Structure 1
Amino acid sequence: MSRILKRDKSIVITNSRKLVDTRNRIIHACDAVSDDIIWGIVIRHLPILKQEVENLLN
């Protein structure tokens, strides 16, 4: 996501910075991330991200 946003400034993805930060926490284990936080992201934010990506691809 970071690369996409750097390449094209016109692309808007809701909470993109938060998504990148969460990915970094999970991958690099900088902070403990609870299952509840991940599940909340999946339930609330993943559907929005999916729709935005589908719109970009169309």
Structure 2
Amino acid sequence: MGSTHRGKAHPGVRRGEDLGGVRGGRLLRSAVERQFEIAGEAMSILRKEDSETAERVPGVHRIVGMRNVLIHGYAEINDLTVWRTATGDLDALITAVDALLIEAGPPMTEDGGEA
């Protein structure tokens, strides 16, 4: 699991995009949704492999649920929900994941050394 977004929001959001831009811009929408799919898959794996750590991630179950909706299309994707998540809900998640990564230390290689 790795946190790579230090800017606290999807790059398109920082450029000044708005909900209308996300609705009308397939590329931006696809990019934002893809990042949510990746994060949701990572959280799904974390829940299976280390449920105690997963429970320390704010909204872990909602993250996996959003991933499932995006991947499997259980319901029509709600643009407003995606937009609100991209612009307002990521700060706590990024802070928590960054703290967990620092706590875990560098990844280990197969021979037991640091990667």
TM range (shorter): 0.7 to 0.9
User: In the alignment, which of 21, 36, 56 is matched to residue 80 of structure 2?
Assistant: 36
Provide Cα deviations, 1:24-46, integer angstroms capped at 9, x if missing partner.
Answer: 10111110122111011112221
Corresponding position of 2:50: 8
The structure with more radius of gyration: 2
Q: For 1:18 and 1:47, how far apart are their aligned partners in 2?
A: 15
C-alpha displacement of 1:10: 2.5
Tell me the secondary structure at the aligned position of residue 13 of structure 1. coil
User: In the alignment, which of 96, 100, 114 is matched to residue 52 of structure 1?
Assistant: 96
The root-mean-square deviation of aligned C-alpha atoms, in Å, is 1.2
Taking structure 2 as the reference length, the TM-score comes to 0.47
C-alpha displacement of 1:6: 2.3
Q: How many pairs align?
A: 58
Q: Which amino acid aligns with 2:49?
A: R
Structure 1 unaligned runs (5+)? Answer: none
Q: For 1:9 and 1:30, how far apart are their aligned partners in 2?
A: 25
C-alpha displacement of 1:54: 0.5
Taking structure 1 as the reference length, the TM-score comes to 0.85
Share of identical aligned residues, percent?
Answer: 28
